[in-house]
Amino acid sequence: MPARISILYVDDEPQLLELGRQFLEQKGEIVVSTAESVAGARDMLANKPFDVIVSDYQMPGTDGIEFLKFTRYQYPDIPFILFTGRGREEVVIEAINNGAEFYLQKGGDPLPQFTELAQKIRVAVDKYRAIRDLRKQTFVLEERVKELACLYKLAEVISPQGISLDEMLNTAVAVIPAGYQYPESTSARISFRGKEFSTPGFRQSVWNQNFPLFIDGEWVGAVEVSYTGEWSDAGNAPFLAEESSLLGGIVRLLENSIACRVADERLRDSCGIGPHPVPDTASPPLKSERDLRLAAEKDLRRSRESQELLLREVRQRVKNNLHTVHDLLALQSKYIRDDKVLKTLQESQNRIKAMALVHEILYQSPEITSVDLDLYVKTLAKSLFEFYRSKGKEIVLRTDISGVALGVNTAIPVGLIINELMSNALKHAFPERTTGEIFIRIRKKDRNISILFRDDGAGLPRDMNWRDTRSLGLRMVFSIVEQMKGTIGLDRSKGTEFSMVLEERK
């Protein structure tokens, strides 16, 4: 159930205020607070949030235009409706120029005028809430992108070989603040087995996050993040709730990278590579080649597991951020009335979903580096069939893709091609038929990928220059084929059949 609309209604006529309040509140969706002067309205605004302001123009002391200017300066986002008996053209122009959402003239029969006022209130508040929600979603998206960039950068600095563990930790700690809401006021420290690595000026404050570091079940240190700037909002912390999850992800990446390096150093020492360790009587040296081989296999296995965990962490973040973009477009589409714009937004959502699906399958798959294309195409098709479902139509999908696995850099563009061709077929291929078939065959040999996409529908018009089309989807397909150094052909003899040969991306 939508939240009730909170209105501040300002007028110097008490009887009209009461009449308006009763009418607007009669359906239970609006709550009206009244003020008989601008001074009283200002006091109420300072103590309570409102969704919309409705104000008379001519009032003692301060008129409605001055009140509008004050509101736009102090509360720029609150919708303002001027509801007055003064109908002069210059007042209307001044009200609109100063940011009033609507100008309504009162007088005469109250029923139609308050009915129109209620309708304008709903329109103004819907727009206000949509903009507010859009800003929130945009902010969330920007923060998720920052977090993702932080994890990518961290993955870069902890991966190179040939640098010491101390150098790696010293570089890693400098990356952490950039993932937070206020990086300029955020500092970090990594403690590891008695050593500390921190950003300049690190100090613990009231606002502090702390996650322990464990290697092989042993506590070896901690990662701390501290907000050191000024903060006056006692009801909220400078850390977002999601930033606790970010720090958890940072810690997991560090734990696995440290474990790999420690294991690597131990292996090198055991094999006599590099400086010899000081003998440790508590831990006798390995005595046989078999022991050395088993230790090497164990450390290599741990290294692989660490890399897989790192990849899964990044894949999950990418998937989450793509879903955030998808949800942002979905939110915008709720307030779009133009069918063409709405259609474009929905198609963009499907493209984003196609990309996110690659990362979702990778995250859930035991094989973290490649995508099972048969599973991907069937999952994507299920989503598109549900989206374009037409009552009374039975369109079936047949595939021949068994045994094809692609890396993420190839799976995403191939997925976008399938998404566009299948969307076009579901929209246009079967306009006057209740049944139809879409067939997809994909083969991979060495680095060459062949794709055949066919539908038995109406086919593209004979006089259509399919290589120079206005369709964004087909233009996108041609662009991807060109980027992948491929070729594409079209057979229009029976329905529509596209055939492509692409080069796998490294």
Q: What is the pLDDT of residue 409?
A: 81
- Euclidean distance between CA atoms 107 and 302, whole angstroms: 80
Structure-token pair, residue 463: 């006089």
Q: What is the pLDDT of residue 498?
A: 94
Crossing angle, helix 408-424 and helix 373-387, to 10 degrees? 30
Q: What is the CATH number of domain 5-107?
A: 3.40.50.2300
For residues 394 and 435, is the Cβ–Cβ distance under 8 A? yes
Indicate the pTM of the whole model. Answer: 0.48
Which CATH fold topology does 145-229+240-273+290-310 show? Beta-Lactamase (3.30.450)
Angle at 410 between CA 425 and CA 486, to 5 degrees: 70
Q: What is the pLDDT of residue 165?
A: 87
- The SS3 assignment for 12 reads coil
Q: What is the pLDDT of residue 322?
A: 59
Strands (E) in 107-230, as ranges, are 186-192, 195-198, 207-215, 218-227
For residues 452 and 497, is the Cβ–Cβ distance under 8 A? yes
Residues in the chain: 506
Closest CA to 357 of 333, 373, 344: 373
For residues 360 and 169, is the Cβ–Cβ distance under 8 A? no
Q: Tokens 């109908």 label which residue?
A: 87
Q: What is the pLDDT of residue 335?
A: 56
Q: Where are the domains of the chain?
A: 5-107, 145-229+240-273+290-310, 366-503
For residues 32 and 25, is the Cβ–Cβ distance under 8 A? yes
- Euclidean distance between CA atoms 104 and 56, whole angstroms: 10
- Euclidean distance between CA atoms 306 and 254, whole angstroms: 10
Mean pLDDT by 10 residues, the chain (506 residues): 84 90 89 92 92 90 90 91 78 87 82 88 86 76 77 79 84 90 91 92 88 88 90 79 81 83 66 48 50 60 55 55 59 64 72 71 64 89 83 85 86 88 89 88 92 91 76 84 90 90 87
CATH architecture assignment, domain 366-503? 2-Layer Sandwich (3.30)
- The SS3 assignment for 209 reads strand
Strands (E) in 56-131, as ranges, are 80-84, 102-105
SS (H, E, C) 272-283: CCCCCCCCCCCC
